[in-house]
Amino acid sequence: MKIVVVGATGLVGQEILKVMEERNFQFDELYLVASARNVGKEILYKSKRYTIIGMEEACGLAADVAIFSAGGNTSLEWAPKFAEKGTIVIDNSSAWRMDPTKKLIVPEINGHVLRIDDRIIANPNCSTIQMVMALAPLHVKYKLKRIVVATYQSVTGTGKDAVQQLMDERNGIDGTKVYPHRIDMNALPHIDMFLDNGYTKEEMKMVHETRKILGDSSIGITATTVRVPTIGGHSEAVNAEFHKDFDLATVRELLENTPGVVVMDDVKNNIYPMPILSQGKDEVFVGRIRRDESNPKTLNLWVVADNLRKGAATNAVQIAEFMMEKNLVY
């Protein structure tokens, strides 16, 4: 079993290696890939040093699985080349998510659609993953009609330079800026580029990806995505309207029995999900569960998850595990 991790020096790449170690991910050979300036450097994994190699060399290995976390342009260029060699590419970028010939997978929700000839598999957007994890079991029972979501997303979603900008600003250092405005002690209603419809790409990702994962294009979805000065953990205020009515006790029971979801909802004792509590954890945390008293058949949820874990690295590793467990690797 040959495994390749592309983008091994980035925030998500480092988290992928951490998740693989924690989950005791099985392989015979591991190869780490990064940008040309990092080729030849070493990364320590499980007390063993691995030398970083380039894309051409990695592609020629004809590995069993390659987990990509190196940006959309890299994925568009290289994923097909790896796939031609028979490698299963699990891609963290947005490059293949809405390609009708590629599957967009959250294993707990739609892993069953994967087949042995799937060679490029898309990992959804971090904010989409945590929302659908909470809503999928409710959609099965009550059928979603409309979702209104506002996100409060960590700077780690932008990468190492964004974390550095936050820390620089916090320490009074005039350093490199990746955001158009100050992020410390601020909130930016601007994630990814603005589109002609006035929404950002991040907001429209949540619309299109949610429909694709849940297999229902009839769901009305609108999103506002906001960058906030937290490190590790995206939060979402989700307002979900259903075709069928629900009772809160059953909603709680469904969520409590959903693998990968943890209900944290005891407002009398000030217990609810917060990004600081989600850091380093793979679960999606749900709280503030209550009816929307302004609209029938409508539910309010507060959903929090570590965007580098279930929002990216963990989900990608879980897809690889699923393909291996189901003997979909050849």
pLDDT at 232: 82
- Does the annotation count 208 as an active-site position? no
**Residue 62: Cβ within 10 Å count:** 12
Catalytic residue among 181, 190, 234, 243: 234
pLDDT band at 262 (very low <50, low <70, confident <90, very high): very high
Q: Per-residue pLDDT averaged across 157-166, rounded?
A: 95
**What confidence score (pLDDT) does residue 329 get?**
87
Taking Cα atoms as reference points, which of 330, 327, 277, 329 lies closest to residue 302? 277
282-329 residue pLDDT tens: 999 999 999 999 999 999 999 999 999 999 999 999 999 999 999 998
Asked if 139 is an active-site residue, the reply is no
Which candidate, 248, 247, 225, places its Cα nearest to that of 238? 225
Q: Which tokens go with 207? A: 């619309």
Region 228-250: mean pLDDT is 97
Of 112, 126, 190, 243, the active-site residue reads 126
> What CATH superfamily is the domain 2-123+312-325?
NAD(P)-binding Rossmann-like Domain (3.40.50.720)
Mean pLDDT over 82-95 rounds to 97
Number of other residues whose CB lies within 10 A of the CB of residue 216? 12
CATH code for the domain defined by 127-307: 3.30.360.10
Residue % of the chain over a pLDDT of 70: 100
Q: Which residues pair with 30 in a beta bridge?
A: 3
Q: What is the mean pLDDT of residues 23-50?
A: 94
Q: 330 pLDDT band (50/70/90 cuts)?
A: confident
- pLDDT of res. 221: 98
Taking 90 as the threshold, does the pLDDT of residue 132 lie above it? yes
The predicted pLDDT at position 48 comes to 94
Average pLDDT over residues 57-80: 96
- Return phi, psi of residue 323, to 5°: -60, -40
- Mean pLDDT calculated for residue range 230-246: 96
User: How many other C-beta atoms lie within 10 A of the C-beta of residue 9?
Assistant: 18
How far apart, in Å, are the Cα atoms of 232 and each of 17, 61, 163, 227, 302? 17, 34, 10, 12, 16
Domain boundaries, the chain: 2-123+312-325, 127-307
